Structure 1
Amino acid sequence: MPARMRPDERLPLYQQLSDEMLARIAAGEWLPGTAIPSETELTRIHGVAIGTVRKAVDTLVKQGILERSHGRGTFVRRPQFSESFFRFFRQVNPSGSQPVPQSRILSRSLELPPEAVRQALALEQGEAAVYLTRERIIQPDRLFREQIWLPQARFFALLNIDPGMFANMLYPFYEEQCGQLIASARETLTIESADTDTADILGITPGQPVVAIERIALGYDSTPLEYRLSRGAAEGFRYQIDLR
């Protein structure tokens, strides 16, 4: 686990405390779903005023890192992995239902990533990454193929696991096997024309439109932990997102 950075002393005290708390979460010292120390205890531990502690906690609550439970305390928010596929990318049937995709790891290896991936993951020049290819079957005739890149320093353990043993949902699997916590993701959706290789994989005709979803998944401290590129046939595809 990488060493935690010291808070920037030029920042306001509440922000320094907020950063220190966030670093504890990112380092796995405070696990998702568990309660953090009470405001009174945080005041004692850090030697700051109760108002400073409350402002630091409020900052992390507003960021969606912590959540308050009336009468129980303040907890590290655990993303709902069972809903993550639909939260970030929604494939909707014409009837409006959302099928749960089944997944299968096709390959895993240690590779030098393309330059765009290297930059997205903030890797050093010449630094290899764990590379996974995965198939996601939504319906018998609806297929997505994924390319997944992960920093080797954090995910090297995956190279020793048989592809058939990977879980259907990868983010809880990352946490279980590598101690890496995914807190959020950014996605970009584009439309491409299928080249020969992509068309062959997806069972479509070259030149047909393909949906390409680029995802960068982040840790609690916003460190990039995963780069993922998913491709599937655009025919019958609907993108749905709820705005609140």
Structure 2
Amino acid sequence: MIVKGLDPTSGVPLYLQVERSLQQRVDDGEWVPGQRLPTEEELGRAYGVSRVTVRQAVARMADRGVLVREQGRGTFVRDTRLTAGARWVTSFTTELAQLGHNAGSRVLGQAVVTAGEEGLPPEMQLAADARMLRLRRLRTDGSRPVGVQTALLPLDRFPGLADIDFTDRSLYQTLNERYGLVPREAVETFTVGGVLDEDAATLGVAAGAHAFYVERLTFDAHGPFEHVRSVMRGDRYRVRLALRTP
């Protein structure tokens, strides 16, 4: 296959143009995690450039962790998806750190709502007019969008929480330091669906792209204190469970 789009007169080095093209093809899912790329010779023919140019592009992508080169086997797309499984009750930041990733967060919205507006599960045991903090955040792995999470917490339990700016603050760290809260357990329910229009641009995917929908109810010693709804990109998040015989 001949790849079009390189411009030798643009002033941008050819190896950078090849790198950008390869990155786009990985992002578009042409090559999935674990799949081997064509050889340098094959890519050179496809792009109309030398093997040295291809080697520079591939080396830069390997340095960025997008590709991995294995002696005698070839070059593969690195599997950078986050793998969730049985674990302790932690924040998203701690979970990613334990997996060797660098968590990031951006506040998309912070508002006071009522429990009745949000359709909370009965386990929360809240009146319909109970005031809640709704905190909606984009969660990232480095600069890569992973999911959108919406946390709901009762303000009767956490007075003043709605006045805190969470732009650069950890929610769980704040709950611990300010209110002495220590999470004890959580129940998570996973379903699979398509990304809605309202989340697609934020997550950097097309509407309808595969995603995990996760509902989490988190408890401390006094009962449930948090309900979280998450939409996690299916190409950057997966769940693995170990099963044993009784």
Name the TM-score, length of structure 2 as normaliser.
0.55
CA, structure 1 residues 152+118, in 2 after alignment: closer, same or farther (shift >3 Å)?
A: farther
**Deviations 1:162-192, CA, capped at 9 Å, x for gaps:** 223422xx32321212233311111111111
Partner of 1:134: 137
SS of the residue 2:156 aligns to = helix
Partner of 1:177: 178
SS of the residue 1:156 aligns to = coil
Counting only pairs closer than 5 Å after superposition, residues 64-143 of structure 1 correspond to structure 2 as 81=90, 85-86=94-95, 98-113=100-115, 114-117=117-120, 119-143=122-146
In the alignment, structure 1 segments of 5+ residues that lack a partner are: 1-78
**Deviations 1:47-99, CA, capped at 9 Å, x for gaps:** xxxxxxxxxxxxxxxxxxxxxxxxxxxxxxxx77479854xxx799xxxx642
CA, structure 1 residues 116+91, in 2 after alignment: closer, same or farther (shift >3 Å)?
A: farther
Partner of 2:239: 239
Q: Give distance in 1, aligned partners of 2:126 and 2:178.
A: 21
The one-letter code matched in structure 2 to 1:181 is V
Partner of 1:226: 226
Q: Give distance in 2, aligned partners of 1:220 and 1:128.
A: 21
Q: Give distance in 2, aligned partners of 1:212 and 1:195.
A: 11
Partner of 2:155: 152
Q: Give distance in 1, aligned partners of 2:93 and 2:145.
A: 19
CA RMSD of aligned residues (A): 2.9
Q: Give distance in 2, aligned partners of 1:145 and 1:229.
A: 8
CA, structure 1 residues 84+188, in 2 after alignment: closer, same or farther (shift >3 Å)?
A: farther
Counting only pairs closer than 5 Å after superposition, residues 29-40 of structure 1 correspond to structure 2 as none
CA positional deviation for 1:101:
1.6
SS of the residue 2:238 aligns to = coil
CA contact (8 A) 2:193 2:212 kept: yes
Q: Give distance in 2, aligned partners of 1:239 and 1:108.
A: 29
CA contact (8 A) 2:89 2:185 kept: no
Q: Give distance in 2, aligned partners of 1:135 and 1:239.
A: 20
CA contact (8 A) 1:120 1:227 kept: no
**Deviations 1:124-177, CA, capped at 9 Å, x for gaps:** 12222111111211143332111000011112321222223422xx32321212
CA, structure 1 residues 243+82, in 2 after alignment: closer, same or farther (shift >3 Å)?
A: farther
Between structure 1 and structure 2, the one with the greater Rg is: 2
- What fraction of aligned residue pairs are identical, expressed as a percent? 23
Q: Give distance in 1, aligned partners of 2:168 and 2:92.
A: 21
Name the TM-score, length of structure 1 as normaliser.
0.55
SS of the residue 1:177 aligns to = helix
CA contact (8 A) 1:107 1:163 kept: no
Q: Give distance in 1, aligned partners of 2:109 and 2:118.
A: 21
Query: Larger strand proportion, structure 1 or 2?
Result: 2
Q: Give distance in 1, aligned partners of 2:111 and 2:151.
A: 11
Q: Could you list the runs of 4 or more consecutive aligned residues of structure 1 that deviate by over 4 angstroms after TM superposition?
A: 79-85
Q: Give distance in 1, aligned partners of 2:224 and 2:91.
A: 21
Q: Give distance in 2, aligned partners of 1:150 and 1:198.
A: 22
Query: How many pairs are equivalent?
Result: 156
CA contact (8 A) 2:93 2:103 kept: no
Q: Give distance in 2, aligned partners of 1:84 and 1:186.
A: 18
Q: Give distance in 1, aligned partners of 2:143 and 2:210.
A: 19
CA positional deviation for 1:211:
1.2
CA contact (8 A) 2:104 2:143 kept: no
